[in-house]
Amino acid sequence: MKICVFGASGYVGASVYQLLKKPDGVDVSGTTLEDAPLFEELDILDINEPESFSDYFKRENPDVVIWLVQGGPEEHSLTTQGLMHVITFLRPETKLIYISTDLVFSGGKGPYKEEDPISSLPDDHALRHYTNAKVKAERYIENELTNYVILRAGPTYGENLIGKLDERTDKLAYHLRTGKEISYRDDLIRTFVHVEDFANVIVEMAQNDLTGVFHAGPDVQQSFYTFMQGMAEQQGFDGNFVQKAPEEEEPDTEVPKNTSLFTDKIKNKVNQTFR
Ligand SMILES: NC(=O)c1ccc[n+]([C@@H]2O[C@H](COP(=O)([O-])OP(=O)(O)OC[C@H]3O[C@@H](n4cnc5c(N)ncnc54)[C@H](OP(=O)(O)O)[C@@H]3O)[C@@H](O)[C@H]2O)c1
């Protein structure tokens, strides 16, 4: 079995790539946009660039494609160009694992089940780039393909397999080490997922026969404030240095309040558990 990991140098992608690369693992190849010194064998590829994408894909001819690409403000072109290239080149028997986000539930009235409707944000909304690109991508995939998994997750945390922490925890630790307070919103509710559990379930999905939409993560739904206070204490800091952030916001910057996920479906289908 040949598996291609797009975004193998990223926070989640590096763990997925590392797991697949084990000596007893499958035949895997991975891509990065920039040179990634940790995995020098990765192919440097701009997924939006049709010719280099086409050369790479034809050469690798994968049985499974894992989408772990993320582009910040460029997320829209990753969907309208990069994902379109992938969809155009997929054979019917090639499985696409598309990693999506809880933010496709931009109405923020969770917890949400897999079958609940997803929605875009208005065109003038500050958070539209990522959310709307992910909504568009999910719709493309559901319309065009049958052999796919859309795996949605909330904020991912913890140390990945190459020792990199998520940016939020890194910032928390930096503040607390220097004796500074840091604040998080108590009205934003999420399903937080550990990067190791997330990477393991992605690898499991790449090698099983499941298709469809799944939510990854534990049963627990927490606010950023509660979750980060717990993270501070777990790392040996005084949780009192974690404060509640103000909740006032303008309509065009309003963050979806509760995008937490029901995760019963995946729990009954995969071996991986979520801490
Ligand atoms: N992190 C989270 O909390 C979270 C939560 C839910 C869902 N997700 C989803 O999980 C996936 C991975 O997220 P992440 O946090 O691991 O992302 P990340 O650390 O930002 O990594 C993004 C990856 O995409 C690559 N990339 C960016 N633009 C590209 C392009 N034009 N062509 C080819 N590759 C490109 C990057 O390459 P370089 O390293 O060379 O720049 C990197 O390998 C994303 O699809 C994201 O939406 C993440």
Is residue 111 in some structural domain?
A: yes
Is residue 204 in some structural domain?
A: yes
Is residue 34 in some structural domain?
A: yes
Is residue 152 in some structural domain?
A: yes
The best mutation among 68, 129, 193, 261 to test binding of ligand 1, ranked by most ligand atoms within 8 Å of the C-beta, falls on 68
What local confidence, expressed as pLDDT, does residue 116 receive?
A: 98
Residue found under tokens 């928390």: 172
Count other C-beta atoms under 10 Å from residue 170's C-beta.
Answer: 12
Please say if the pLDDT value at position 36 is more than 80: no
What local confidence, expressed as pLDDT, does residue 37 receive?
A: 78
Is residue 136 in some structural domain?
A: yes
CA distances from 64 to 56, 171, 217, 238, 267 (A): 14, 35, 22, 45, 22
Separation CA 83–CA 9 (nearest Å): 18
Is residue 108 in some structural domain?
A: yes
Is residue 66 in some structural domain?
A: yes
Count of domains forming the chain? 1
Give tens-digit pLDDT for 45-56: 999 999 999 999
The answer to whether the CB of 70 is under 6 A from ligand 1 is: yes
Tell me the pLDDT band of 72, cut-offs 50, 70 and 90.
Answer: confident
Please provide the average confidence, as pLDDT, over all residues in the chain. Answer: 96
Domain of residue 74 covers 2-157+193-218+263-267
Tell me, in angstroms, the distance from the centre of ligand 1 to residue 251's CA: 28
The answer to whether the CB of 35 is under 6 A from ligand 1 is: no
CATH number, domain with residue 108: 3.40.50.720
SS (H, E, C) 155-197: CEECECCCCCECHHHHHHHHHHHCCCCEEECCCCEECCEEHHH
Tell me, in angstroms, the distance from the centre of ligand 1 to residue 153's CA: 13
pTM: 0.98
What local confidence, expressed as pLDDT, does residue 24 receive?
A: 78
Give tens-digit pLDDT for 227-259: 999 999 998 999 999 999 999 888 889 999 999
Is residue 231 in some structural domain?
A: no
Give tens-digit pLDDT for 10-25: 999 999 999 999 877 7
Closest CA to 191 of 151, 160, 159: 151
